[in-house]
């Protein structure tokens, strides 16, 4: 704790203007930035999967199962930054026992449980059930055990059973779309409903969160699709990649418009907080907001995708060969990840860097080690990929790995 006091002393030296004495300690740090970033990826990946299932966008079929597994991998990691951040994680189950229904945060437990159990796990189950049954028949040892466990003993492979699986999956995806909106939208509402904080309190925040989630999720799947195809030495389906890039561009345009609307609205109304917020943006948040979020994270990908992806016509503005397009998509997607992470940073950290007295600014000192440190957050961001690796090993999402049953059930 000594080092904590020491770092707070340093923060105290670096405050500008006047902050309330209790505001020296910044409470929601890097871990709380990671959380909406991760749930955003979940929601975005799921929406992409639903594009195929509900809206019948056939081109993105190769990424359907990958999107679901990615969403699951990130969803499993999502509560970890929250638990690590709590003052008393061992009491975290109280959210399930006595949730305060007036609090947006109390909804976390239920929305999370609903989304995990009723939407994501069920959807994966229904989609993989027949494959798991067939695999478990042919395998031995641990793999067989896992797949048998997965099937929950529902081993019916008849045509009715399999078509039930398909329609159930479709239904679940259908209810999954508003559920995905809720999963990430409520996080936006947690911030947007805090009237004490003029940087957060806004009707637009849940909507901006949602669309930036979709942007990051689609970008993530694009990156994963390309990387996994590279690792597996498999040809990338360019129609799929182009389609992903197109949807990425649509979502990015909407996201950018919403953020610009918020920005213009703030400047125009010029409420009491505008002075300190402008100071904050031009000093403390300049790099993370102007450079990373807006320029590198939004404008550059908008331009790249706008020029090179066939989003608004059968052909793109500039027709680039497939290798170049792949590279551009990849770069755009990486920049977008950086940009969306910066967005979360700017919302969470930005909201606490200025004083509620509107008279001063403090600093956020990121520690390297410790539960709230950089190392922990990097680990939490890598962990979903490790989980995804394990999931992919047991539930391969590749189109060629999918089991096709003969048209009549075997006796």
Question: Among residue numbers 169 through 198, which ones bind other proteins (CB under 8 A)?
Answer: 190, 193-197
State which of residues 146, 161, 299, 334 lies at the interface with other proteins (CB under 8 A).
161
Among 54, 146, 168, 175, binds other proteins (CB under 8 A): 168
Residue 137 or residue 257: which is nearer to other proteins going by CB? 137
Count the residues in the chain: 411
The two tokens of residue 163 are: 């078509």
Q: Shortest distance, CB of residue 220 to other proteins, whole angstroms?
A: 24
Cβ–Cβ < 8 Å for 185, 192:
no
Q: Which is nearer to other proteins, 91 or 232 (CB)?
A: 91
Report the distance separating Cα 60 and Cα 184, nearest Å.
23
Short-list 199, 235, 180, CA closest to 40: 180
Cα–Cα distance measured from residue 119 to residue 80, given in angstroms and rounded to the nearest whole number? 20
Q: Give the residue, chosen from 16, 54, 84, 394, that forms a contact with other proteins under the rule CB under 8 A.
A: 84
Residue with structure tokens 């056939």?
A: 58
Q: Which of 53, 65, 129, 147 is in the footprint of other proteins by CB under 8 A?
A: 129
- Nearest approach, Cβ of 269 to other proteins (angstroms)? 15
Report yes or no: 36 and 348 within 8 Å, Cβ to Cβ.
Answer: yes
**Nearest CA among 162, 168, 97, 164 for reference residue 134:** 162
Residues binding other proteins: number (CB under 8 A): 80
Residues 356-395 that bind other proteins (CB under 8 A): 356-359, 371
Q: Which of 227, 204, 308, 37 is closest to 45 using CA atoms?
A: 37
Regarding 86 and contact with other proteins (CB under 8 A), the answer is: yes
Residue 352 makes contact with other proteins by CB under 8 A: yes
| CB of 381 vs other proteins, minimal distance in Å | 15
Which of 409, 377, 292 lies closest to 339 in space, CA to CA?
Answer: 292
Q: Which stretch binds other proteins (CB under 8 A): 126-134, 175-183, 237-245, 394-402?
A: 126-134
CA 363 to CA 338: how far, in whole Å?
A: 21
Q: Under the criterion CB under 8 A, does residue 3 sit at the interface with other proteins?
A: no
Cβ closest to other proteins, residue 238 vs residue 358: 358
Three-state DSSP class for 104?
Answer: coil
Q: Which of residues 15-54 bind other proteins (CB under 8 A)?
A: 18-25, 27-28
CB of 60 or CB of 132, closer to other proteins? 132
Per rule CB under 8 A, is residue 58 in the interface with other proteins?
no
CB atoms within 10 A of CB 332: 25
Asked if 400 interacts with other proteins (CB under 8 A), we say no
């Amino acid at each position: 704790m000594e080092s904590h006091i020491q770092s707070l002393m340093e923060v105290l030296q670096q405050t500008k203007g006047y902050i309330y004495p209790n505001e020296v300690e910044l409470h929601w740090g890097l871990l709380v930035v990671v959380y909406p970033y991760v749930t955003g990826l979940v929601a975005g990946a799921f929406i992409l999967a639903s594009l195929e299932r509900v809206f019948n966008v056939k081109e993105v079929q190769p990424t359907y199962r990958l999107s679901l597994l990615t969403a699951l991998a990130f969803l499993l990691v999502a509560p970890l930054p929250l638990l690590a951040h709590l003052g008393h994680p061992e009491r975290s189950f109280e959210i399930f026992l006595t949730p305060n229904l007036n609090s947006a945060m109390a909804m976390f437990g239920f929305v999370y449980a609903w989304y995990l159990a009723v939407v994501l796990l069920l959807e994966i189950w229904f989609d993989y059930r027949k494959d798991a049954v067939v695999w478990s028949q042919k395998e031995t040892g641990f793999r067989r055990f896992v797949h048998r466990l997965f099937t929950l003993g529902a081993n019916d492979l008849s045509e009715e059973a399999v078509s039930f699986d398909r329609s159930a999956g479709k239904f679940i995806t259908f209810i999954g779309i508003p559920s995905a909106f809720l999963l990430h939208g409520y996080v936006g509402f947690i911030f947007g409903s805090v009237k004490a904080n003029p940087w957060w309190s806004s009707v637009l925040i849940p909507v901006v969160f949602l669309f930036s989630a979709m942007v990051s999720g689609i970008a993530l799947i694009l990156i994963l699709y390309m990387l996994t195809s590279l690792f597996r030495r498999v040809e990338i389906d360019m129609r799929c990649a182009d389609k992903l890039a197109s949807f990425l561009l649509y979502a990015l345009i909407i996201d950018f418009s919403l953020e610009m609307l918020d920005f213009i609205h703030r400047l125009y109304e010029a409420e009491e907080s505008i002075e300190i917020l402008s100071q904050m943006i031009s000093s403390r948040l300049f790099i993370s907001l102007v450079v990373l979020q807006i320029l590198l994270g939004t404008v550059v990908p908008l331009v790249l995708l706008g020029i090179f992806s066939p989003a608004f016509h059968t052909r793109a503005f500039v027709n680039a060969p497939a290798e170049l397009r792949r590279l551009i998509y990849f770069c755009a997607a990486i920049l977008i990840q950086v940009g969306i992470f910066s967005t979360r940073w700017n919302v969470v950290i930005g909201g606490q860097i200025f004083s509620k007295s509107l008279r001063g600014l403090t600093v956020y000192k990121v520690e390297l080690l410790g539960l709230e440190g950089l190392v922990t957050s990097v680990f939490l961001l890598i962990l979903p990929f490790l989980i995804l690796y394990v999931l992919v090993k047991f539930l391969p999402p590749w189109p060629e790995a999918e089991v096709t049953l003969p048209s009549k059930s075997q006796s």
